[in-house]
Amino acid sequence: MRLGLFGGSFDPVHLGHLELARACQEQARLDEVWFLPTATQPLKKRGPVASEADRCAMLELAMLELAIADETSWRMDRLEIDRGGVSYTVDTLREVDARKPDAELFFLMGADSLHDLPKWREPDAILNLATPLVVARAGEPAPHFEGLAELCSPQRIQEISEARVEMPAMAISSTEIRKRVAAGESLVRMVPSSVADFIAQRRIYQRSRASRSGASSRG
């Protein structure tokens, strides 16, 4: 099985996240995509604005579950939330590898995160455990893979480069969505309607005017 792992705060999940997952699945021929909400991201330790209960609760459908409900090959996994503490990619990959020893692992990431990958915990181990699917968005600079030279062989760098995924530009961010909710503005064409309804019903973000970046800074 070709298994894609997509980690992030998803605070909230939006159409850009879903399009990225779809592009990776189609272009890399992934059998499944697992969305992994983080507990605490190493490079963004202030944590998400929405509570873990609002993001991941199983008792009532959470935002991420609602967003992927119609995709039979997508699932949410609470691995990082249940593990708690700082969510390091290498720990997650090792745990998934132990659970799915016959799966070929891929992890989804934006081209902007590629620059930071050498700073993540045990980056060489990460590249041995899984192949990064680096997403190049239209209109943005092409990803540079030269920074991986000290972590893996030229052949492995070539494999990672060839696995690059292309997707259309989408000017959507979780930060902007939180600001729009706080200002009482519409979320049309930014999040699935089910997620917009959930945010409104739970009054999530209405008192928050946090200006943190919504990007997924992992490690």
**How far apart are alpha carbons 171 and 195 in whole angstroms?**
18
Region 2-172: CATH code: 3.40.50.620
CA distances from 115 to 40, 43, 112, 135, 177 (A): 20, 13, 6, 13, 25
ω into 143 cis (within 30 of 0): no
Element (H, E) at 137: strand 131-137
- Structure confidence at residue 71 (pLDDT): 97
Domain ranges of the chain: 2-172
**How far apart are alpha carbons 20 and 169 in whole angstroms?**
10
- Structure confidence at residue 219 (pLDDT): 79
pTM for this entry: 0.86
Mapped onto helix, strand or coil, the DSSP state of residue 36 is strand
Q: Describe the strand order of the beta sheet including 32-37 as a list of residue ranges.
A: 74-76, 32-37, 2-8, 104-110, 131-137, 165-167
Per-residue pLDDT of the chain (219 residues; tens, 9 = 90+): 999 999 988 888 999 999 999 999 999 999 999 999 887 766 555 556 666 555 544 323 488 999 999 999 999 998 998 888 888 999 999 999 999 999 999 999 998 889 999 999 999 999 999 999 999 988 888 898 999 999 999 999 999 999 999 999 888 999 999 999 999 999 999 999 999 999 998 888 886 444 444 445 577
